[in-house]
Amino acid sequence: MFDFEKLEVYNKLHDVNVKVLKFLNKDKKIDVYLKDQWKRASISALLNLSEGSGRMSKQDKRHYYTMARGSVFECVSVLLLLRDMDNIDKEFYEEVYGNYETCSKMLLAMYRSMGEA
């Protein structure tokens, strides 16, 4: 087992990615550009977290955790836009939004736990 697989935040991001990707693969009414952007940002959050966990220096880890958190913010921006365009149902929106918010807080805690670079 890789170190990142043991992280609670990795597992939460993995789960939200599965939900989002399944949703996007089924939904045909969402703009292709927004769909692609959301996919890339969501996967990027997961991959940056994974890559960062394998880095040796605190500075490198902090960089990748920052990138992962930025990708989560990007996902939320797309999610908010889709909500406001009535392209997503309220229950799914609230679930995914809540998961992204939790992941963002966890990534920030990981960043802070690294101390100063």
Per-residue pLDDT tens over the stretch 3-15? 999 999 999 999 9
**pLDDT attached to residue 117:** 54
Q: How are the residues of the chain apportioned to helix, strand and coil, as percentages rounded to the nearest 5?
A: 80, 0, 20
* Record: fold of 3-113: de novo design (two linked rop proteins) (1.20.1440)
Which residues, 6+ apart, have CB-to-CB distance to 19 below 8 Å?
Answer: 92, 95, 96, 99
Close Cβ partners of 103 (under 8 Å, ≥ 6 residues apart)? 9, 12, 13, 16, 45, 72
DSSP for residue 88 = S
Give the per-residue pLDDT at 12: 98
Distance CA 54, CA 56 (A): 6
pTM over 0.85: yes
Summarize pLDDT for 13-69 with one digit per residue, the tens. Answer: 999 999 999 999 998 889 999 999 999 999 999 999 999 999 999 999 999 999 999
